[in-house]
Amino acid sequence: MSRIGKLPVNIPDNVQIEVSEDNVVTVKGKLGELQQEVNPDITVKVEDGSIVLERLSDQKEYRAMHGLYRALLANMVKGVSEGFKTVQELVGVGYKVQAKGQVLELALGYSHNIVLELPPEIKIETVTERGKNPTITMTCHDKQLLGQVAAKIRSFRPPEPYKGKGILFKGEVIRRKAGKAAVEK
């Protein structure tokens, strides 16, 4: 992780960064604003259009935090300038999805529909085409929040290895297992 921590994070022109005295980094861009509290053992410097992080020593915990905070800040900068997007696909007979504003309604083969209210930062779009699997496309400037919501949606019907049914990320390949073999007498 220390190799990642040593890399500077380039700041695009439309992004502003502020580091407060209590080590809270605020990143503002065209898509929104994000804040991250950084451990006081890691120093954050903004110089020459990039963010540089330095650690106290080469102890294992400092090396780990160095890489962690560099990755978090890089994700924040990318999020407020470009944004993040996830696409999930519902694989299964009769699986349906519908978005009504910030409310997502899923029919996943249970006796009732699952209704999930999404945070206001996430923009959602659902597509249901005849002959294709329904898809959920979510965009957000906060990578952590987007991943958390995507994991929550996936947890309602995780993909299973026998028939390959469930909620998958677009392009994900499920390792399939053979079912029960018929016994010959």
Task: Using the predicted structure, report yes or no on whether residue 25 has a pLDDT greater than 60.
Answer: yes
Predicted model pTM: 0.87
For residue 17, give Cα distances in angstroms to 14, 47, 140, 149, 183: 10, 11, 19, 26, 67
Least confident of 39-43, 44-48, 72-76, 180-184: 180-184
Return the pLDDT at 49.
87
Using pLDDT thresholds of 50, 70 and 90, give the confidence band for residue 185. Answer: low
Given a cut of 50, is residue 1 above it in pLDDT? no
Query: Which one, of 174, 171, 9, lies nearest residue 85 by Cα?
Result: 171
Average pLDDT value over all residues in the chain: 90
- Across residues 170-179, what is the average pLDDT? 87
Residue 174's pLDDT band, with cuts at 50, 70 and 90, is confident
- pLDDT value of position 28: 92
Mean pLDDT computed over 54-70: 88
Which tokens is 103 given? 């409310």
> What local confidence, expressed as pLDDT, does residue 164 receive?
87
Q: Look at residue 105 in the predicted model and tell me its pLDDT.
A: 94
Q: Where in the chain is the domain with CATH 3.90.930.12?
A: 2-81, 84-169
Which CATH code for domain 84-169?
Answer: 3.90.930.12
- Cα–Cα–Cα angle for 97, 119, 34, rounded to 5 degrees: 135
Please provide the DSSP assignment of the chain as one string: -HHHHHS-EE--TT-EEEE-TTSEEEEEETTEEEEEE--TTEEEEEETTEEEEEES-S-HHHHHHHHHHHHHHHHHHHHHHT-EEEEEEEESTT-EEEEETTEEEEE-SSSS-EEEEPPTT-EEEEE--TTS--EEEEEES-HHHHHHHHHHHHHTS---TTT--EEEETT--PPP---PPPPP-
CATH number of 2-81: 3.90.930.12
pLDDT (tens digit per residue) in 71-130: 999 999 999 999 999 999 999 898 999 999 999 999 999 999 999 999 999 999 999 999
